[in-house]
């Protein structure tokens, strides 16, 4: 596994070691011992989630306030542009974002620790997205920041307005969001 720091402290790009030949491929998608050794993260994962989306669907920017979640995300079909936004008020990168392309082809993963909002947009005709979380989903605690907030100025690699859920279309401005101390 190769761990590459991103421009945001504690958000890590993870590239697994893939063994492939003319039959296909094999890789360890998660190994708790190696994850802890290479990242220094000692959180336990309590829930796995799986979503499928068609081209242009944008999910996010989501986070939970009281029950903050760390997320380990990856794509098993298609391609997405995945974004993390630092909501930690005392962080030197507070209010900044990082985006990476995750795909079934590159098999990269992204570790997004507690204290970040998360979202992605589907770039391929269809994408299946898997993510492990360090806390359970608490719908009453979920928050959403507007995907196109001008303060954040996220450079989503899309040419048209994305398809949003009703919840995501009502996301709040970054300035009105609740942050982490």
CATH number for the domain whose boundaries are 2-18+30-176: 2.60.120.10
Active-site residue, selected from the candidate residues 50, 62, 90, 108: 62
pLDDT at residue 115, rounded to an integer: 97
- Residue 63 catalytic? no
pLDDT at residue 53, rounded to an integer: 98
φ, ψ of residue 35 in degrees (nearest 5): -60, -50
For the chain, give every domain's residue range. 2-18+30-176
Give pLDDT < 50 ranges for the chain: none
User: pLDDT, tens digit, for every residue of 67-79?
Assistant: 999 999 999 999 9
pLDDT at residue 181, rounded to an integer: 87
pLDDT at residue 83, rounded to an integer: 98
Beta-sheet strand order (sheet of 12-15):
2-5, 12-15, 109-112, 71-77, 126-133, 47-54
pTM: 0.94
- Residue 138 catalytic? no
Active-site residue, selected from the candidate residues 63, 108, 118, 131: 131
pLDDT at residue 9, rounded to an integer: 83
């Amino acid at each position: 596994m190769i761990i590459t720091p991103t421009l945001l402290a504690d958000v890590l790009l993870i590239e697994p070691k893939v063994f492939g030949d003319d039959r296909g491929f094999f890789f360890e998608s998660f190994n708790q011992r190696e994850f802890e050794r290479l990242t220094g993260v000692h959180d336990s994962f309590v829930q796995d989630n799986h979503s499928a989306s068609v081209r242009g669907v944008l999910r996010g920017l989501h986070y939970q306030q009281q029950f903050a979640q760390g997320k380990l995300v990856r794509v098993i079909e298609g391609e997405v542009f995945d974004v993390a936004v630092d909501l930690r008020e005392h962080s030197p990168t507070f209010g900044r974002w990082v985006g990476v392309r995750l795909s079934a082809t590159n098999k990269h993963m992204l570790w997004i620790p507690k204290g970040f909002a998360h979202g992605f947009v589907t770039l391929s005709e269809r994408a299946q997205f898997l993510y492990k979380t360090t806390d359970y989903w608490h719908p009453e605690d979920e928050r959403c920041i507007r995907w196109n907030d001008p303060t954040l100025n996220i450079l989503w690699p899309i040419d048209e307005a994305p398809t949003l859920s009703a919840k995501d279309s009502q996301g709040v401005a970054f300035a009105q969001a609740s942050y982490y101390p």
